[in-house]
Structure 1
Amino acid sequence: MESTTTSAQPLGTTPAAPAHSGMILAIVLVSYFMIVLDNSIIFTGLPQIRTSMDLSPAAMAWVQNAYTLVFGGLLLLGARVGDLLGRQRVFVVGLVLFAVASLLVGTAQNATWIIAARALQGIGAAIVAPASLSLITALFPASPQRSRAIAAYGTTAGLGASLGLVAGGALAGAISWRAGFFINVPIAILMITASAKFLPRFPTARGRFDVVGALTSTIGMGALVYGIINVSEQGFLAPLTIGSLVLAALVLVVFVLNEWRVNQPILPLRLFRSRERSGAAISRLLFAGTMIGFFFFTTQFFQGVYGFTPLQAGLGFLPMTVIQFVASLAVSRLVPKFGHAPVLTVGFALVLSGMLWIAQIGAETSYLVGMVGPLLVIGLGQGLAFGPLTSAGISGALPQDAGAASGLVNTAHQLGSTLGVAVLTSVAAGASSLAGRVADAYAGGSLMMVMALASALVLVLPAELAARKQRTA
C-alpha cells in the first residue's frame, strides 16, 4: 500500500518547542492511562460479571483474554500504521474505537457480546498504546523535558495497573462493574476533542506498507499469546497449546526473515543492535509478567481469604499506589544524577525484595502484618523502575523508528502480562488451598524478577555506562 506525503517535512520532525506542550502531554497520558486501567479494572469486577451473565469458567477467562490476545497481537501493526498514516490521525481513530468498545462492554448482556466487545477494545488499545509513546518521542526534543515526559509515561503504566484495581473495586462495590467501562466514554470523547485541537498534524510517510510483516507479526503474536493463555487453561501438553506455540514459532521465524530483507520493515531489526533496548525489552517482559500476576493473585487473596468486598480489595492496594506515586515523582531528579540504569536496577531490587517478603504469607497472616510492608516495598520499586525502563526501551531510536520502538516497548509489556498470568497460574495449580496457590504464585513471580534484574544488570546497565564513558571521553 502506498501513502503520499502531505508535506515536505520529514517524518518525526516537529518544532523544537511544541506549543501547548503541557496540554499535549496531558492528552497522551490520560489516554494511555485509560488503556492501561482497563487491563486491570476488570479483575475486581469479575465475580459480578460471572453472576450477572451466568458465565462459565472458560467464558470468564476469555472476558480478560480476548482483550489481551488482540491487544498483544496487533501492537506492532498498530505502531507501524501510526508511522505511515500520521500519528495524530491514528491516535484519534484508536480512541474512537476504544470508546465505542467500552460502551459495548458496559451494555453487554451475554458472553458472546462482552467477549467480542473486549476484543474490539484490544484493537483500540493496540493503536493508542504505541501511538502515545511515539507522540512523546516525536513531539518532545531530546532534553530534560523529554526525560520528564517519558518518566511520566512510565509512571502512568505502573499507576494505571494498580489504580485500576482500586477504581474497579470502588465502582463495582458502589455502583456496578459496568461503571468502570462507561466512564471511558466521556473521557475518550474529551481526549478526542482535545487531540483535534492541540495535537499537531504529522505528515504521512512515503513508502510501501510491509504487508507480509504485518500479517506474520499479527498471526505470530496472536498465536503466541493464545498459546500462553491456553497453558493456564489446559496445560503445556494440550494439543491446542502445542499447536499454537508451534504455529507462533514458525510464523515468527518467517516474520524475522521478512524483516531482515525488506526495505521498510514493520519492526526494524536494527532496534535490537542496542544492548540497552534489547535488555529493556527482556526486563520489561519479565517485570510486567511479575506485576500483572501479582495483581491477579493478590485480588483473589483479598476477596477469597480475607473476605474483602470488591471495594475493600481495591482499597487494599492503596499503600502500594501511594508510595509508587511518591517514588515516581523523584525519578526525574534521580535520573539526571545517577542515570536511568542504576535507578532501574534499584527499583527492580526493591520489587524482588517485596516479592520474596510477601511470598511468606499464609491464610492466618493478617493484612497489616503480612501485606502492608511488602506492598510499600513493591510500590517503591515500581515507582522507581517504570520510567527508566521505558526510557531504556526507546533509547537512541531514530525519529523514523519512533513508532516501531514504542511498539516494541508495549509488545514486551503486553506479552509479559499474558505470560505472567499463564505461567504463574500453572505454577500455583498444585496447591490445595487458595492461600497456598497465591504463595506459590508469589514465589514464581520472585523468580521472574530475579531474571528481570539479571537482564538489567547484564545488558542495560553496562550499555548505559559504556555510552556515558564514550560521551565523556
Structure 2
Amino acid sequence: MNLGRTKDGPAAPPRRGAALAALAAAQFTVMLATSIVNVALPQIRLGVGLSDGGTTWVVNAYSLAFGALLLAGGRAGDLLGRRRVLVAGLVLFAGASTAAGLASSPGVLIAARTVQGLGAAAIAPAALALTIGLFPPGPGRVRALGVWGAVSGAGGAAGVLLGGILTQAWGWPWIFHAVSIGTALVLAAVAALVPRGGGRATGRFDLPGTATVTLALTGLVWALTGAREAGWTDPGVLGGLLGALVLFAAFAVIERRRPDALVPPRLFATGRVAPGNLLMALLGSVWIALFFFLPLYMQQVLGMSALATGAGQLPLAAANMLGALAAPRLTRRAGATVTLTAGLLLEGAGLLWLSRIDSGGSYAVDVLGPTVLVGLGLSIAFVQLTVLAVEGIPGPDAGLAGGLVNTTRQIGGVIGLACLATLAGSVTAQASGHVSGPEALTAGYRAAFAVSAAILAATALLAPLLTRRSRRSRRTRVDRRTDTTGGATGAGEAEGALPPHIPLPLRTPAA
C-alpha cells in the first residue's frame, strides 16, 4: 500500500508514512487501554481489595473521563497546537498508567484510571486531526484512515489478548506497566516523526460551553454506567439523566450566543458531519458491548482461561485489520454508500450468528466464524464513517471534528452497553429459575447479541437514506452560494464554504 503519492497531488514528503505510523500507534494505545483490563478484572479485584461496585469502576472511570472530555480535548488541539496537545496527552497517559500499576488501594487505582482517560481524551482527537492534516482529501486520506481503522479495531482485540497473557504470566499490574512502556515508545516516535506546525483555529476557548457539555456528558455516562447495576428506576440514575438533559439544553442555548462556540455551526456545513456522527454512535453502541460480552461468554460459559480467551481474539483482530485495509479499495470499486451498508450488514450477520451460541458449545463452533464476520464488517464500516464524519471539515476545525466523532462513538458505546447489559441481566435472571447457571448466562448473552444485530440492521437501512439527504442538502447550499455567472459569492466563502476540489457525491469514482 503506497501512502507516499495520491491521485490528488504530488508525491508526499518522505516521512509522511512514518508520521502516520506514529499517530496510528497513539490511537492503538488508547484503544488497547480501553479493553486490556477486561480479562484481568477478577485478579485486580483481589489485588487491591475492590468491592463488586468498585470493580466496575476500574472500567467506568476510564470511560467516563474519556467520553466526557473528548470535545474539550479536540478543541484544545485546534487552539493550542495538535502536536503539543498530543505530546501532553501521551505524557499524562503514561504517568497515569504507571500509577495504576503501582496502586495498592482502590482509590488510587480508580483515580489513576480517571487520569488515564483524561490523557486519552487529548490523544485521540489530536492524533486523528494530525492524520487528516497529513493527507489531502482523496484516495490517500481514505487509505490513511483505513490504517487508522485497522489499528483502532486491532487495539481493542489486542487488549483482551495482552491482558490475558500479562495477567497469567506476571500478574495484573503488568497490564498497566506494559501500556506505560508502550506509550513512552509512542511518545518518542511522535516527537521524532510527526512534523511541527499546521493550521490553528483562531478565537478563544469556549469555557462556558466546554464546562457545560463536559458536565452533561459526565452526568450521562455516570447515570448510564450506574443503570447497569442499580437499574433504570434508581433515583440516582434518574437524577443523572435529568441533570444531563438540562445541561445539554443549556449547552445549546450557550452555543447560539457564543462567537467562539465549542461546536460552531460551520462544523455541520458539509451536511455529512451530522449523519456520520449519528451512524457512528449506532455502530459504537454495539462495538463496546461486543468486547464486553464475548470474553464473558468465553470464560464464564465455555470455561476458557484468561490466556485462551485473549488468544481467541486473534482471528477477530486479523479480520479487523484486513477489512480496514481493504475498505479503500472496496470504496473505489463499489462506492462509499454501498461499502458502508455492506460493512454494517456483514457485522450484523456475525452478531446474528453469535445470538445462536450454546452453553454446551465450543470456541471453534460458536465463536470463531461469527467473530471473523464481525471483525471484517466492523472495520469496513468504521473507516467509512470516519471519512464521512471528517470529510470537508476546514483544517482549523479538524481536531474538534475528530473529538466529535470519537465522542459519539464512545457515548454511543456507553449507552449501548448500559441498555444491553440491563437486557442480558434481566434475561439471565428470568432464566436462572428454570435452567443451570451457564445456560442462564448464555440466554442473556444471546439476547444481547440478537438486539445488537437488529441495531446494525437498522443502521444499514438508515445509512443510504441519511447520506443521500446529506448529498442533496450539500448541493443545495452550493447552488445558493453560486451567482448567475457561476462564481462563488464572498459571503459563501466567509461562512466556511468547502473548497471546490472536494467532490460532491459520497460515492467515489470507480478505479
Fold similarity call, TM over 0.5: yes
Shifted more, 448-457 versus 209-218: the winner is: 448-457
CA contact (8 A) 2:75 2:262 kept: yes
How many Å apart are 1:347 and its aligned residue? 0.5
Structure 1 runs of 4+ aligned residues shifted over 6 Å read 469-472
Distance in 1 between residues matched to 2:506 and 2:415, nearest whole Å: 36
Mark the runs of 5 or more structure 1 residues left unpaired by the alignment.
Answer: 1-14
How many Å apart are 1:289 and its aligned residue? 1.7
Distance in 2 between residues matched to 1:457 and 1:471, nearest whole Å: 14
Residue type at the aligned position of 1:447: A
Shifted more, 217-226 versus 452-461: the winner is: 452-461
Partner of 2:487: none
Work out whether 1:268 is the aligned partner of 2:261.
no
What's the CA shift string for 1:139-163, capped at 9, x where partnerless?
2222322121111112222111122
Within-5 A mapping of 1:28-427 = 28-202=23-197, 204-427=200-423
Partner of 2:480: none
1:428 to 414, 424, 432: 424
CA contact (8 A) 1:173 1:309 kept: no
How many Å apart are 1:419 and its aligned residue? 1.5
Q: CA RMSD in A?
A: 2.0
Q: TM-score, normalised by structure 1?
A: 0.92
Distance in 2 between residues matched to 1:239 and 1:18, nearest whole Å: 57
Partner of 1:7: none
Distance in 1 between residues matched to 2:364 and 2:262, nearest whole Å: 49
How many Å apart are 1:410 and its aligned residue? 0.4
SS in 1 for 2:281: helix
SS in 2 for 1:112: helix
Shifted more, 117-126 versus 21-30: the winner is: 21-30
CA contact (8 A) 1:213 1:259 kept: yes
How many Å apart are 1:460 and its aligned residue? 2.7
Distance in 1 between residues matched to 2:301 and 2:395, nearest whole Å: 50
Partner of 1:444: 451
Distance in 2 between residues matched to 1:124 and 1:459, nearest whole Å: 33
Change in CA separation of 1:296 and 1:50 when aligned onto 2, cut-off 3 Å: same
How many Å apart are 1:369 and its aligned residue? 1.8
How many Å apart are 1:115 and its aligned residue? 0.3
CA contact (8 A) 1:347 1:382 kept: yes
Residue type at the aligned position of 1:99: A
Shifted more, 72-81 versus 366-375: the winner is: 366-375
Partner of 2:484: none
Q: TM-score, normalised by structure 2?
A: 0.86
Change in CA separation of 1:398 and 1:469 when aligned onto 2, cut-off 3 Å: closer
What's the CA shift string for 1:22-63, capped at 9, x where partnerless?
111011000110001111111111111112223111000111
Residue type at the aligned position of 1:97: L
What's the CA shift string for 1:418-444, capped at 9, x where partnerless?
122211111111222211221121122
Distance in 2 between residues matched to 1:290 and 1:470, nearest whole Å: 26
CA contact (8 A) 1:83 1:204 kept: yes
CA contact (8 A) 2:29 2:155 kept: yes
How many Å apart are 1:177 and its aligned residue? 2.1
Residue type at the aligned position of 1:468: P
Change in CA separation of 1:260 and 1:335 when aligned onto 2, cut-off 3 Å: same
SS in 2 for 1:173: helix
How many Å apart are 1:471 and its aligned residue? 9.9
Distance in 2 between residues matched to 1:111 and 1:455, nearest whole Å: 44
How many Å apart are 1:469 and its aligned residue? 8.5
Distance in 2 between residues matched to 1:161 and 1:268, nearest whole Å: 32
Distance in 2 between residues matched to 1:189 and 1:324, nearest whole Å: 26
Residue type at the aligned position of 1:435: T
May I ask how many residue pairs the two structures share in their alignment?
Answer: 458
Partner of 1:6: none
What's the CA shift string for 1:271-311, capped at 9, x where partnerless?
33544322221121121121211111111111101111101
CA contact (8 A) 1:101 1:118 kept: yes
Work out whether 1:468 is the aligned partner of 2:505.
yes
Residue type at the aligned position of 1:454: L
Residue type at the aligned position of 1:358: L
Distance in 2 between residues matched to 1:365 and 1:302, nearest whole Å: 10
Partner of 1:12: none
Mark the runs of 5 or more structure 2 residues left unpaired by the alignment.
Answer: 1-9, 433-439, 476-503
Distance in 1 between residues matched to 2:508 and 2:314, nearest whole Å: 42
Shifted more, 386-395 versus 262-271: the winner is: 262-271
Partner of 1:456: 463
CA contact (8 A) 1:232 1:426 kept: yes
SS in 2 for 1:362: coil
Distance in 1 between residues matched to 2:506 and 2:311, nearest whole Å: 46
Sequence identity of aligned pairs in percent?
Answer: 37
CA contact (8 A) 1:16 1:140 kept: no
Partner of 1:9: none
What's the CA shift string for 1:341-388, capped at 9, x where partnerless?
221110100111111111011202222222222112112212322211
What's the CA shift string for 1:302-329, capped at 9, x where partnerless?
1101111101111122222222222222
Residue type at the aligned position of 1:380: L
Residue type at the aligned position of 1:255: F
Shifted more, 460-469 versus 269-278: the winner is: 460-469
SS in 2 for 1:201: coil
How many Å apart are 1:336 and its aligned residue? 2.0
Residue type at the aligned position of 1:110: S
Distance in 1 between residues matched to 2:181 and 2:305, nearest whole Å: 27
CA contact (8 A) 1:276 1:461 kept: no
CA contact (8 A) 2:201 2:397 kept: no
Distance in 2 between residues matched to 1:327 and 1:224, nearest whole Å: 33
SS in 2 for 1:43: coil
Distance in 1 between residues matched to 2:455 and 2:154, nearest whole Å: 21
CA contact (8 A) 2:33 2:179 kept: no
